[in-house]
Amino acid sequence: MKSRYEAAKQVFVDSVDIEDYIDLDASVAAYKQLEYSLEKPLKMILLFGRPGTGKSILLNRIQEKLKHQKEIHYFDTPAVNEKEFFHKLFKVLTQKDLPSNTEVNFSALVEFCQNLRGKREIIILLDEAQMYGTEMMEKIRLLSDSRAVKFVVSLHKTDDEDLIAKEHFQSRIWEVIELKNATKEDQTAYIHKKLLKKNLFEIANSIKAKDMKLIHKFTKGNYRECNKLLFTIFEICEYYDKNEPAKVNYAHIHHRIIEMSALKLGYIHV
């Protein structure tokens, strides 16, 4: 027999599927800011935030929403090497495949982009841009100077964030959109909305305000860490539901289960 917690556990499998997107005050504001920025005559836009703050799902959502209105392409993972990247970019720009054994002439590609100015505006969403080298980023900047190709560059925020931004982008970045970890209120809404979306009303109601406070303390409002913690909480609940149901309080998830999950994930130590 299936446990009632099995479906709840699956809700928090970490994913960038736009079906899993949850409207929150902060995410709606970031989406609107990015959408508005794409209308401006900008060459490059920086999407900035620590891992797990929702950068990839925001790029997915903007591409899905605007794909019928704009020429927009999402490069979800960095290319293995420069050749692979420019083969992919060549296909987007020229709408033709380049033979696999052929090198892209970069100067000719820049000239091609310059000739597109005023005829097409192509938006490239570059995820995980911290994986691109300095030389690659310089070439991306040169392509953006054509003003036929606009790049949205998604970058992990690190302790060296200012140095990275200055080295890679300097004056070419006209717009910076920063995604941050959720407030306790936004994280509470996130958890409840994800569960209610799957009609898991009783389980949503079993997570009380003081539990949300504890979850936010352990995850610091990071969406990825929140998913990991909730998945682990429901995994433990599922175990007890199947093996020792007398120990389960279905009306309230005990704080000890939250602490056990935090311990398992290394958020706290014995």
Which residues span the domain enclosing 208? 4-16+183-265
Mean of all residue pLDDT scores within the chain: 88
**Would you call 133 helix, strand, or coil by DSSP?**
coil
* One domain for residues 148 and 34: yes
pLDDT digits (tens, 9 = 90+) for 218-256: 999 999 999 999 999 999 999 999 999 888 888 999 899
- pLDDT (0 to 100) of residue 220: 95
Residues 168 and 210 in one domain: no
Within a domain: 270? no
**Residue 218 sits in the same domain as residue 102:** no
CA distances for 25 relative to 43, 53, 67, 180, 225, angstroms: 27, 14, 24, 12, 19
Mean pLDDT, residues 73-81: 86
The alpha carbon torsion through 129, 134, 138, 143 (nearest 10 deg) reads -30
**One-letter amino acid for residue 139 of the chain:** K
- Residue 164 and residue 42 share a domain: yes
Judged by average pLDDT, the poorest of 66-70, 120-124, 132-136, 261-265 is 132-136
| pLDDT at res. 42 | 81
Q: What is the pLDDT of residue 103?
A: 84
In terms of domains, do 141 and 33 share one? yes
pLDDT at 217: 96
> What pTM was estimated for this model as a whole?
0.86
CATH at residue 71: 3.40.50.300
Query: Do 148 and 204 sit in the same domain of this protein?
Result: no
- Residues 52 and 168 both lie in one domain: yes
As beta bridge partners, residue 176 has: 46
